[in-house]
Amino acid sequence: MPPLTDRYPLPVLQDPPGAGGERPRTWRSLEELQGSPELARAAEREFPPGAAEPPRGLDRRRFLQLAGTTAALAGLAACRKPAEKVMPYTVQPPDVKPGIPNAYATAWEPEGYAAGLVVTSWEGRPTKVEGNPDHPASLGATNHVAQALLVDLYDTTRVRGVKQRGTPRAFKGYLQEQTERASRLEANGGEGLWLLLEPSASPTRRELVERIRQRFPRARVETYHALSRDNVYEGARLAFGRPLETRVRYDEARAVLALDADFLTQGPDALREAREFSRARLPERGAMSRLYVVEAHHGVTGMNADHHLRMKPSEVERFVLAVLGELAKTHGLGGLERYRELELAWPEKAREVRAVAGDLARNGERAVVVAGERQPPRVHAVAHLLNAVLGSQNRLITLYEPGVEAVRSGPEVLRELSEAASAGRVDTLVMTAFNPVYTAPVGVTLGAALSAVPNAVYLAFREDETSKHSTWVLPAAHVMESWGDTRAVDGTASILQPLIEPLFQGLTELDVLSPFAGVAAQTPYQLVKSHWQRQTGASGAAFDDTWDQWLAVGTIPGTQTQGTRATVDASAVESSVRNFAREPSQGLELNLLPGYKMRDGRYFHNAWLQEMPDPLTMLSWSNAALLSPATAERLSLKPRDKVKLTFRGRWVEAPVYVLPGHADDTVSLELGWGREWSGDADAPEVLGVNAYLLRHADAPWFADGLQVEKLDERGRYATSQDHWAMEGREVAIQDTLGAFEKKRPEYLKHLKGPVEELYEPFKYEEGYQWAMAVDLSRCIGCGACVVACQAENNIPVVGREQVERGREMYWLRVDRYFEGSPDEPRAIPQPMMCQHCEKAPCEYVCPVNATVHSDEGLNEMVYNRCIGTRYCSNNCPYKVRRFNYLDYRPKVTEVEKLGFNPDVTVRMRGVMEKCTYCVQRIERARIESRKERRPIDTEALQSACEQVCPTEAIVFGSLHEKDSEVARRHADPRHYAVLHELGTKPRTAYLARIKNPNPELEHG
Amino acid sequence: MAEGRVSETPTRDALSPLPLIEGAQSAESLTGSLLAPIERKAGRVWWALFFLTLGGTGLFGLAIAVTLVRGIGAWGNNIPVGWAFGIIDFVWWIGFGHAGTLISAILVLFQQKWRASVNRFAEAMTLFAVMQAGLFPLLHLGRPWLFYWLVPYPSTMDIWPQFKSALPWDMVAITTYFLVSLLFWYLGLLPDLASARDRAKTPRRQFWYGLFSLGWTGSARHWHHWRTAYLLLAGLATPLVLSVHTIVSFDFAIAQVPGWHSTIFPPYFVAGAIFSGLALVLTLLLPVRGPLGLHHVITNKHVDILTKLLLATGLMVSYGYLQEHFFAWYSGDEYELAAYAFKRTGTWGWLFWIQMCTNVLVPQLFWFPKLRGNGVVVWFAALAVDMGMWLERFTIIVPSLAHDFLPKSWEHYSPTWVDFGLLFGSMGFFGLLFLLFLKFIPPVPISEVKELHHELDHALREKEA
């Protein structure tokens, strides 16, 4: 691999002259740069320095200088507002070539902590998000949400410009007014000043907040997030005496007990943990791990469990205590002596408890217990205790001091704010947290309270419930428009650099806070840079070099910490366990889940995430009340029946979705839905059910006492897979480790190998032979690949009604099957895309040669030639071809057009389309290799789905390289071809999913 | 026999219970009665039907416009059900077309005398049905304006159609079929157009019939050439009866969709097509022969023969059904078994069982001569078969696609108003063309009936002598 600076050229800005004096609002404008002597020199020459020679081989300093000038020049034309016409460069910067994309490193904060990104940019237009391979919390992958960030960036419904009570104002006006107000507030120590921020690991923001605290000692600075991690920190406080972040090395673990913990997709380090977890799931790598998931609903982690132990959410606590008791009594684990006398057993679950405890005890320091964010602190404390006594705390777990302010940040904060505001004790309120009015719990009428605040400032991405009640509404900048900084859980710091000038005059959190911190004169760029300059102690040009290097790499070297040590306070945990009152849960339980796609609701307006099918339910465009098959039968409910869910006197109406593997007597409902979607529809429609209407501050996640009443209406939801059984067909193959080992040499022999053919088959011998392999053992079914494929290939969103009609356009979908009984199913996800059959059934039925085969094994789709008979789709046994039934892009705004990948044709109505194995990436790599007179580096060439995959489940490459990963997987004993018996000879191989169940719990 | 000589004896064989021509007829009376429908003024019923079918045609136009403006998405099709109403309607209409060619061409070669009075009728029906059928594959394209890429023409792009696919063959087969049917029909029409011209009383009629009769004088040379050409065209049209629906069946049979991939399809489709065509002939013939005063030439004998043919082809079709399901079972292929089980018991199982009643059970009525002679029974039975054959195409196309290899792909299908608009609209357009045909063209070939009359007369006289 070339050094990083080569891979990610820099959009570095030079400090504008006279910075620090008056505050210039635009940092890439012509006016600023015309003052630069460096630029003037560059403009005098015919060619800018380095234009005539390739950048390779330059020394670092020189390169960075060039790159800096380049980006500055690029700013002239590339970052202009899209409403204007693009002008040709008068002086073409050497690094920004039309038609050649650049990649820039930055980061975002999905859950308060950093995840590194590398964003592809075409002449200043970001088009594709990738993970940063050098960032510890990304490792090159992203989740599904990061892939969809671009939709938000180019969303034209964003707040435009600063508004005071609906009247447009200049940002200067805001600064002036707030600076004055701040000076007034300073006089009384900040009495009446409230800040409502989101948890963030940003060091610069922390510095600003510190300054505000010093300046206004009596101000209230609160963090709020509807999906707060309070339980995590409280649990750590209980066990260790202080809040800590826990990171688990799942690749080393042999037994994992997840207590309502969706650690594969949620939590600040989920991407890394998912990758490490998947590496322990391969039978060929020696001992496999075994995962027990105890939960009520059926989440992504639950789908990957060897044993999915379903129970009401409130019973998880009881379960872990029973495991604790079993470990103390039967296994006599050292450190648990004091629990031997306690009556912790749970007779109904004795079998499961015995098996789990036995497995944990056997694996000792390689066994780990993890608790989910929704479980009460005691569960976390017990998990910490068990890890300590098992020994895994030293072997598998690293503890980190939290990078965010680990203070209480749940719904309770809003209640206090609401009370203070109603009582007129709030003069100035600065809100940068997402939509508190919408996410507020029952009983907190924040909207009305806000109206009583004379100066309520809200940094909003879109007009919403909160902005209606705010005095000042400021347009929030997208992460790709912002300067900032952040840290990963392990302390690794990153600088956020903008990819594009704010499209709608967006402002960052730092902008909003600056007048209160007394730094209103400084731009976020200056704030961040000066913060880090003080950290390094370097100055001037020396620091500029370092700074540029950081931006290029995407991380700040040397900021990673080694973690911290802490010991479990055994007596504190013990007294907590003794206090546990075993009150059996009565009747039905309400179980509120963080939205898998919506999170707390902030991605509600993101069309890609709306349309992406949920990994388990395959629902898109709405949520639903999830019930187990047994409970649905008991309540005589059928799928799509509408029910009235009444909880503590308040009710919502929701359609019923019967989810196999869901716990009985529990109804799960995702948060983040039930708002108005304006989208393309003529009339706005409410999508899904707003579960916040049932959320109470004292029961933020689950509680019993839910009543379900069947209504006469039928509910509505769109799902892309109604049929969940595999009908005994060998499609997505799942086996136990024992069965696999027994059959190993002959494993799945009937599903691979040559097929008999009537005619002499074409011999694929020459050159590259593109192929793919999907390891179902690694795949966790998170769905990031679905959105990545959509972003890479300009795949349209079709909307709710079209999904209901079965016309979704995904080139890559993740099918989800269940095996076994509906109550205790084994779920299996299967990414399915064009298999690039060597004998493709689609090709011979096309009347016009619109789909043909390349000698490199690609099944190619010629859009220009397609007349839309749909014969190919009929004959495709995998049904991976997608047809443009309608014009799915009737109204693309000029802004939205910026987000298209220019390498991929935007298809018109009436044309068939499908996965191309990212042929545009192959061709780009081919062009590069030809220029350099070398073969294509097939290992570096990645399809979009491969690149995004957190667990390396998908690999793409050429079979002609026998030592490539794809060739190795094509020879793996677990490999097979889906529908092999049809003789299509697919180029995509699947590797069977091997499970490692506990023999003690095996059914039948 | 000289024109105009009055035959006093009824042209009937005393041993044959049902005559082909009823009553005491002369050549003159035949000409007069057979030209009467086009020489009379249109009645109220005709106008009522005309406006009804005109409305249907309007609906058709609207549905076509919506399809072209919005795209195929205006229909109910999806993935996996890429083909649905469009192709069902296509196969249904093209199937109807088969009876015409069968009656006119094959029966000419087999010298079946009875065909004389119904062949014009059947051929017109063929033409109009093929016109409906031909529209659907074009409308069905995602980009219909590029339909000509299906035609093997020397394009500047140097690309030919892909002959491994059944669709270019479809294009060729349908076009050929339409052209040959048109020529054959028109050729048969020449002497009658001349008769209409000769009897025309207004200059406009004289002009138009004169124009289209191409200067026919009825000379021996004309007759000689005409007969040769007619026979040749009959020979040319005969293989088409078999080829068109064989090729249409390839659309399905060459695909590997469970429920489509079957070698029985070509003969089974041809039998089905003729079956439906005969049913449509009966459906149209029975109600019009009274008002048009054609009872004397389209007799119960014709109905009797047609119903017998209906029974015979119905049995062939039933055998096809049996074979389909038997081979699905016999193959032991899980996908085939599942597809056929779904066809019988799945979402659209009720349509399958209706189809079994109409296409298998209903034709069994015609074992009984009494029922064959009952016009009402025959008409309703024929109507049931018409509908049943639409259902047959539905149960072949939709359930098979909706229930293929990967259970993930299984998807429901529901048609939209545009789908129904096209189906009923095409019926309206067909009806409109048919009404115009009845009004302007002699619906029964006069010369052939007269010839038949002469032959029958002659044979009877010889017998008596």
Q: What are phi and psi of A235, to 5 degrees?
A: -60, -40
Q: Does B412 touch chain A (CB under 8 A)?
A: yes
Contact A292, A356 (CB under 8 A): yes
Closest-CA distance of chain A to residue B427, Å: 24
Going by their DSSP bridges, the two strands A625-627 and A619-620 should be labelled as unpaired
Report the complex ipTM.
0.91
CB B12, CB B461: distance < 8 Å: no
In-domain check, residue B19: no
- Cα separation, B437 vs B431, whole angstroms: 10
Closest Cβ opposite residue A885 in set B72, B257, B334: B72
Query: Is residue B405 less than 8 Å (CB to CB) from chain A?
Result: yes
User: What pLDDT score does A49 carry?
Assistant: 52
Phi, psi angle pair for A163, to nearest 5°: -130, 135
Q: How confident is the model at residue B298 (pLDDT cuts 50, 70, 90)?
A: confident
Mutate to test the interface with A, among B87, B138, B153, B165 (most CBs of A within 10 A): B165
Whether residue B426 contacts residue B132, with contact meaning beta carbons closer than 8 Å, is answered with yes
| Identity of the residue numbered B89 | D
CB B237 within 8 A of CB B178: no
Cβ A910–B254 below 8 Å, yes or no? no
Contact check, Cβ <8 Å, A867/B167: no
First to last CA, chain B: 17
Name the residue ranges covered by the structural domains of chain A: 245-400, 586-719, 734-753+769-998
Q: What is the reported pLDDT for B18?
A: 65
Spatial distance between the Cα atoms of A229 and A220, rounded to a whole number of angstroms: 20
Q: Which of residues 184-213 of B touch A (CB under 8 A)?
A: none
Asked whether residue B399 is domain-assigned, the answer is: yes
DSSP B250-306: HHHHTS--TTT--TTHHHHHHHHHHHHHHHHHHHHHHHHHTTTT-TTTS-HHHHHHH
Contact A113, A143 (CB under 8 A): no
pLDDT of residue B235: 86
Decide if pLDDT at B28 tops 90: no
Euclidean distance between the first and the last CA atom of chain A, given in angstroms as a whole number: 52
A106-135 in b/e form (b: 16+ CB < 10 A) is bbbbbbbbbbbbbbbbbbbbbbbbbbbbbb
> 3-class SS at A291?
strand
Contact A875 B255 (CB under 8 A): yes
Cβ separation B411–A731 shorter than 8 A? no
Minimum distance, in Å, between the CA of residue B387 and any CA atom of chain A = 25
Residue A680 pLDDT grade (very low, low, confident, very high; cuts 50, 70, 90): low
Give CA–CA dist B64/B60, Å, rounded. 6
Q: What Å distances lie between residue A863 and A289, A434, A860, B311, CA to CA?
A: 46, 43, 9, 48
Burial class (CB in 10 A: 0-12, 13-18, 19+), B428: buried
> Which of A43-52, A224-233, A390-399, A920-929 bottoms out in mean pLDDT, i.e. has the lowest?
A43-52
Instruction: Give the Cα separation of B422 and A299 in Å (integer).
Output: 46
Q: Which residues, in sequence order, are CB contacts of B40 under 8 Å at separation 6+?
A: none
Query: What residues form DSSP beta bridges with A710?
Result: A643
Neighboring chain B residues of A844 at a CB cutoff of 8 Å: 162, 164-165, 254
Contact between chains at A807 and B73 (C-beta distance less than 8 A):
yes
Query: What is the band of A57 on the pLDDT scale with cuts at 50, 70, 90?
Result: low
Residues of B in contact with A912 (CB under 8 A): 142
Q: What is the CATH number of domain A586-719?
A: 2.40.40.20
Nearest CA in chain A to B169: A847
Q: Which residues of chain A have a CB within 8 Å of the CB of B251?
A: 871
Residue A164 burial (10 A CB sphere; 0-12, 13-18, 19+): middle
Which tens digits make up the pLDDT trace of B118-133?
888 888 999 999 999 9
What is residue A1's three-state secondary structure?
A: coil
| A757 to chain B, closest Cα gap in Å | 15
With respect to residue B1, please indicate whether it lies within any of the assigned structural domains: no
**Chain CA centroid to CA A530, Å:** 31
CA separation for the pair A604, B113 (Å, rounded): 75
Query: What pLDDT is attached to residue B452?
Result: 81
Cβ atoms of A794 and A619 closer than 8 Å: no
Whole-prediction pTM: 0.89
Which listed CATH number (3.40.50.2300, 3.30.70.20, 3.40.250.10, 3.40.47.40) goes with A734-753+769-998? 3.30.70.20
**Do the domain assignments include residue B2?**
no
The share of chain B scoring above pLDDT 90, in percent, equals 57
Beta-ladder partners of A39: none
d(CA A605, CA A677): 7
Q: Which residue of A has its CA nearest to B144?
A: A867
What pLDDT score does A18 carry? 41
A874 vs B83: CB contact, 8 Å cut-off? yes
Nearest to A773, CA basis, from A500, A957, A545: A957
Strand partners, A830: A815
CATH number at residue B73: 1.20.1630.10
Q: Do B406 and A849 touch (CB under 8 A)?
A: no
- State whether residue A955 is helix, strand or coil: strand
**CA B5 centroid distance within chain:** 37
Q: Which residue of B has its CA nearest to A984?
A: B256
pLDDT at A681 over 70: no
3-state secondary structure A594-622: CECCCECCCCCCCHHHHHCCCCCCCEECC
Question: In this complex, is the C-beta atom of B247 within 8 Å of any C-beta atom belonging to chain A?
Answer: no
Give the span between the Cα atoms of B303 and A917, in whole angstroms.
Answer: 62
Split at pLDDT 50, 70, 90, the class of A68 is low
Topology at the third CATH level for domain A245-400? Dimethylsulfoxide Reductase; domain 2 (3.40.228)
Mutate which of B406, B410, B411, B414 to test chain A, going by most A C-beta atoms within 10 A?
A: B406
Mutate one of B67, B79, B398 to test the A interface: name it (highest A CB count within 10 A).
B79
Cβ contact B165–A886 (<8 Å): no
Domain holding B226, by residue range, is 43-151+162-464
B146 vs A813, A867, A879: nearest CB: A867
Residues of A in contact with B82 (CB under 8 A): 870-871, 873-874, 883
Q: Which residues contact A571 (CB under 8 A, 6 or more apart)?
A: none
Question: A643-674, pLDDT tens digit by residue?
Answer: 999 999 999 999 999 999 999 999 999 999 99
User: How many domains does chain B divide into?
Assistant: 1
Facing A849 at nearest CB: one of B73, B83, B162: B162
Among A40-49, A722-731, A838-847, which range has the highest average pLDDT?
A: A838-847
Contacts of B172 in chain A (CB under 8 A): none
Task: Provide the angle, in degrees to the nearest 10, between the axes of the packed helices A203-215 and A524-536.
Answer: 100
State the average pLDDT for chain A.
88
Centre a 10 Å sphere on the Cβ of residue B373 and count the other Cβ atoms it contains. 15
DSSP H/E element including A7: helix A4-7
**Displacement of CA A747 from its chain's centroid (Å):** 36
**Region A963-972: what's the mean pLDDT?**
94
In a domain, B3, yes or no: no
A386 touches A324 (CB < 8 A): yes
Count other C-beta atoms under 10 Å from residue B131's C-beta.
17
C-beta of residue A145 within 8 angstroms of C-beta of residue A609? yes
Where is B95: in which H helix or E strand? helix B85-101
Name the 3-class secondary structure at A656: strand
B341 touches chain A (CB under 8 A): no
Return the H-helix or E-strand segment holding A718. Answer: strand A718-719
List the single range of A355-364, A696-705, A750-759 with lowest mean pLDDT: A750-759
